Amino acid sequence: MLIHIAGVLSAAEVAYCRALLEKSQWVDGRVTAGDQSAKAKFNLQIPQDSAEGRELADLVLQALGRNALFNSAALPLRVFPPLFNRYDAGMCFNTHVDNAIRPLPGTGFRFRTDVSSTLFLSELDEYDGGELIIQDTYGTQKIRCPAGDMVLYPASSLHSVSTVTRGSRWASFFWSQSMVRDDTQRTLLYQFDRSIIETRQSLPDDHPAVLGLTATYHNLIRRWAEL
C-alpha cells in the first residue's frame, strides 16, 4: 500500500525545520546504511544524536501523533526516531530494500521495519530530479511531493532516489513497526476504516450498520495485531 498524506507539517513547521537544518552539521549518509545499501547511497544527513536531530525528530513525532491518516494506514506500534537527509546535485540512492530489523541507538532494543516513510521538506521548484521511485506489486511509482507532505509505503519494497540534477532535496525519513505486520491486512484495515468514516457522514454513530462495521474493524485488529 502506497499512501500520500498531505500537510503532515504546516508551512511554519517546515520553515522551522529548514532553519534548524541550515545550522546543522551534515555527515555522510552511509552512517545509517547496511553493508549492501552503503554501496548504493550517496547523500548527506544530520547525526541522529545531535541536538538538532533530536529536536526535529520530536517535532515530526508530535505531528504524526495528531495525524489520523498516518495512524489509520500504518497502525504504528513504534516509530523509529525520524532522521533527516539531503541530496545535493549529483547525489542519489540506487535501488535497495530497507533493513528488516534496525537497532535503536543507545538501547538494546531492536525494531522491525514494516512501513517506510518519507516526509518532504523541499518545495518542488527547489530541485530537479530526486524522485522517490518505489517498485512493488502495484508497479513502479515516481514520487515528488510538496514540502510538508509525506508518502508511506511497505518497507519490503525495492526503492531508490533518482539523481538530483539541480538544487537540493531535503527530507525526513523513518520507519514504523506496525501492530499488523502484513501489508495486505494493513491495507484491508485502512480501506475498512475509510469506509467507516464515510458511512458515519451519512448515518448516526448508533445506527446498527455503523456499530456493526466498527465492531468488525476492531475485531479484525484484535485478531491480527501483535503487541
56, 71, 95, 204 from 173: Cα distances, Å: 12, 16, 16, 39
- pLDDT given for residue 114 in this prediction: 97
Pairwise pLDDT comparison (41 vs 45), residue with the higher score: 45
pLDDT at 78: 94
Considering only the top CATH level, what class is 183-224? few secondary structures
Q: For strand 44-45 and strand 83-88, is the pairing parallel, antiparallel, or unpaired?
A: antiparallel
> Per the annotation, does 98 bind a ligand?
yes
| Residue 159, marked binder | yes
In this structure, the strands spanning 3-5 and 41-42 are unpaired
In the block, cell 532516489 appears at 161
d(CA 84, CA 77) in angstroms, rounded, equals 22
pLDDT digits (tens, 9 = 90+) for 185-218: 999 999 999 999 999 999 999 999 999 999 999 9
pLDDT at residue 38 is higher than 70? no
CATH code: domain 3-178 is: 2.60.120.620
Give the start-to-end residue ranges of the domains of the chain: 3-178, 183-224
Over residues 143-197, the pLDDT tens digits come to: 999 999 999 999 999 999 999 999 999 999 999 999 999 999 999 999 999 999 9
Tens digit of each residue's pLDDT (9 = 90 or more) over 84-139: 999 999 999 999 999 999 998 778 889 999 999 999 999 999 999 999 999 987 78
169 is in an annotated binding site: yes
Question: Does 183 belong to an annotated binding site?
Answer: no
Residue 34: is its pLDDT beyond 70? no
Rounded Cα distance, 42 and 139, in Å? 25
